[in-house]
Structure 1
Amino acid sequence: MLKNVPSSDGLPFVYMDAPCSTRGFSMTNDIRPILVFGASGRQGGSVAKALLKAGWPVRALVLDPLKPASIALRDAGVELVPGSFEDTDVIRAAVKDTHGVFSVLPANLAAEEEVRYGTSIADLAAERGVAHLVYSSGASVGDKLTGVARFDAKPRIEAHIRKLPITATIVRPMIFMEMLVRPGFGLDEGRLLSLIRPDHSIQLTAVDDIGKFIAAMFADKPRFGGVTLKIASDMVTGLELEAAFTEVAGRPIAYARLPDDVFAANADLAHMAKSLEDGPLAERVDLNAMREINPEILSFRTWLAGSGRQALVHALGTSAAHQPE
């Protein structure tokens, strides 16, 4: 069972003392749909897939219903609602008669756009009397604002949600495994350059796992409502990353931390690296508790050999400049 206890930042810290699972879950008393934002992307797509598998009707806001990703959603049984984040009236109508809303914002938004859209979605969910809002924030969120608009957008949305008359769950995924297989971090040269020192550890989240976590949360609002929860799938050191990449790639892949001059030139990467040493990203997620929520949790090695393999193959043969998440 999940319990909330005070933490140093005033937010609930969550621990588990009994298994939590969607097995045996029945929705006979409430079969209203869940509105999923970002369903044509990775996080939202993972959530839509998991919710459908769990038996929820799923509704999705899509910019272009004729794009292949949208058509795939429709073919899977998702109800498509054409519109953009700017279309308040469309979103208001889409939220009507839903049980829940999953809110995630695109990574390429400007900070003020992210705050505006994130708070607007939450406001509309509260206005429409939605039973459960789940917002995907970020694990780099801490108890203090940084003064950098990009990093402070998500905590501003979190703070707004907590003031609303709605049952909400806020999830903070740790760094995505997908970040490690993007072109531009040295894999095409037989090395992996990343954020931690070789003997230090990093917790990672598989996007494939996010949907399963979220489905479990929608299945048990009394347990997860009002909770702010960091989520992760695995923890590995730089040397363990080296071993996993070498094994799956079938050739030696040496691990090293990104050079200091890269951090000096890229504020986003520098912020993440510092946070991994003494900030919010250094805080440890209880992986046993994660496994109780999602029994199918993926290890990094399993993910890399499975759904991550295609991206790895692409990165092994591609050279590009370093790009932030």
Structure 2
Amino acid sequence: MRDTQRTILVFGATGQQGGAVARALLRAQWAVRALVRDPAAPKSIALREAGVELVRGSFADIDVLRAAMKDAYGVFSVVPSSPSGAVTDEEEVRFGTAIADLASESGIAHLVYSSGASVGEKPTGVARFDTKARIEAHIRELPVTATIVRPVIFMEMLVRPGFGLDKGRFTFFLRPNQSMQLIAVDDIGKFVTAIFADKMRFSGETLKIASDTVTGRELETILTEAAGRPIAYARFPDEVLAANPYLRQLAASLDEGPLADHVDLNVMRELNPEILSFRSWLAGSGRKALDEALGTTGLGL
């Protein structure tokens, strides 16, 4: 039986991160409550059938958010960012700080906020990163027990269309011999669940989380093995990086910024013994997305 006095309110539960957190919490026998816009939507129905208590509302519904936090032990906060098209940069900051304010006001025992690994001590000049830094700074000023997690680059990002996999290549911002860290979204849920289970250890901590470390050449090998055909790796040309602020900042972060600072994967395994390597993720839950990026879906390959 779940301990209904230990309820976690999960934001973004119909999305990637929030969904992973909700699933992991349920497996660990926490009671889960989720804010959803439409309880009749397929993803909302799936949450309810899994045992999640649904609260109808949006990030802008302050009274609903306050009511949703009533009697909750913890809050997992993840807010859409402007590239999603769902919010502006200022709305992301407003929603993220409002959730933190309400968590403090409501006496929430543990707030976990999901930020980003490109957030550092200095502004980056890229709004989607700097909004998260502003939310982090606000949380640190509040009288609430909080943990900030900074997931590294999602494995899911690497199998999006547009990087050339359907043409037998993979083009990214990483230099061939340079390394970067990745995380599977499912692992975010497992890390966050471990953090909620040990409030004293993680109180006040800002923790970068990762699942694997790869170089550009290793990406070529892993993708070739998974695809069953040659996939050549190349870095985006300098002119492409110069024209794309987001990719340019990621490349700069890897060279000398926050993404160049790698976490110890042995420490990560202590928190999440089921940690996923990029190779194992491609063979499992990432297979469908890989096939779609390769253009082999429906071809029986």
TM-based fold match above 0.5: yes
- Residue number in structure 1 paired with 2:93: 115
Contact 2:34 2:55 in 1 (8 A): yes
Distance 2:126 2:277 in 1: 33
Query: Does 2:64 match 1:97?
Result: no
Pick from 268, 283, 286 the counterpart of residue 308 of structure 1: 286
Which position in structure 2 is the counterpart of 1:46?
20
Give 1:154-193 correspondences, 5 Å limit.
Answer: 154-193=132-171
Report if the CA contact (8 A) 2:77-2:114 is conserved: yes
| Pair 1:263 & 2:241 matched | yes
**Whole-Å Cα distance in 2 between the matches of residues 31 and 94 of structure 1?**
14
Q: Is contact 1:110-1:150 (8 Å) kept?
A: no
Instruction: Tell me which of 33, 47, 52 is aligned to 1:78.
Output: 52
TM-score in terms of structure 1 length: 0.88
* Letter of the 2:39 counterpart: P
Which of 61, 73, 76 is equivalent to 1:87? 61
1:136-174 deviation line (CA, Å, top 9, x unaligned): 000001111134433210010000000101000000000
Post-superposition offset of 1:27: 7.9
> Which residue of structure 2 aligns with residue 35 of structure 1?
9
TM-score (norm 2): 0.95
Task: Pick from 35, 50, 65 the counterpart of residue 61 of structure 1.
Answer: 35
Task: Call closer, same or farther: CA 1:43–1:231 in 2, change over 3 Å.
Answer: same
Structure 2: gaps spanning 5 or more residues: 297-301
Match of 1:238 in 2: 216
Higher relative contact order (CA 8 A, sep 6+): 1
Structure 1: which 4+ aligned runs deviate by more than 2 Å? 146-151
Deviations 1:8-39 (A, max 9, x none): xxxxxxxxxxxxxxxxxx986x7331000000
Aligned equivalents of 1:151, 1:78: Cα separation in 2: 31
Change (3 A) 1:27 1:218: farther
Mean alpha-carbon deviation: is it higher for 143-152 or for 162-171? 143-152
- Counterpart secondary structure, 2:30: coil
Aligned to 1:274: 252
The total of aligned residue pairs comes to: 292
Partner of 1:213: 191
Alignment partners' CA distance in 2, 1:146 and 1:266: 14
Which amino acid in 2 is paired with 1:169? T
Distance 1:217 1:190, change over 3 A: same
Identity %: 71
Name the Cα RMSD after superposition. Answer: 1.4
> Secondary structure at 1:166's aligned position in 2?
coil
Kept in 2: contact 1:132–1:218 (CA 8 A): yes
